[in-house]
A = this chain, B = another copy of it.
């Protein structure tokens, strides 16, 4: 197992995303996502998790969940959950989140978008994504879409598009929670090809 994903931030994007009919919408925050993604951030050693939504009441909900588990009764009830939910931040837009990362890191993050349905052309694979993440002092902002996925305009302001998760079947309709788990595990582990390309 390789090192922590210290340069990595996750952005869980609720706007702009597509609905089922490919209309641009703002999706609702799903609290189970906050917990599952925060626990993944703690497991893989990420810097932070931005919940991105322009809706003020939705950001307030996220802040309330965070306070409960980091300062309120939840912090005493389950300290493991406190450690995880301390990763949680909110932002009203992708640009605002990127600006927060720039302020913290001193350099703007590379934006790496994800999409389940994007064709493989133009995507980067996991070996290249791991090399990017291994560059010191260069934060990476991994953008995860909710609902039916990130809109085209997010791809146009991204530096890279990470290849979709291909399982052994043609089916690739995972929840954002389980897709994030697989992406982070793949980013933290070397590929078979990488090892075999440097035989002992």
Contacts and interface: CB of A to CB of B under 8 A. Distances in A.
Contact of A191 (B3, B4, B186, B192): B192
Given A40-B178, A45-B168, A177-B177, A200 B195 contact: no
Interface string A9-20: 000000000001
Given A167-B1, A196-B199, A174 B44 contact: no
Given A80-B173, A192-B195, A195-B192, A45 B167 contact: yes
Interface in A142-200: 165-169, 171-175, 177-182, 185-186, 188-196, 198-200
A182 B178 CA distance: 8
Interface stretch (A31-39, A49-57, A94-102, A107-115): A31-39
A33 B41 CA distance: 20
Contacts of A198: 196
A2 interface: yes
A65 interface: no
B174 A39 contact: yes
Contact of A43 (B5, B172, B186): B172
Tell me how many chains of this kind the complex includes: 2
B173 A84 contact: yes
Contact of A42 (B20, B173, B177): B173
A44 B191 CA distance: 18
- Report, nearest first, the 10 A-B pairs whose CB atoms are least far apart: A199-B199, A192-B195, A178-B181, A43-B167, A181-B181, A195-B196, A42-B171, A80-B173, A4-B168, A182-B185
Given A4-B169, A196-B200, 18 more contacts: A1-B168, A20-B78, A36-B174, A39-B178, A43-B173, A44-B167, A45-B167, A81-B173, A167-B185, A168-B188, A178-B178, A178-B181, A179-B181, A185-B185, A192-B196, A193-B195, A195-B195, A196-B199
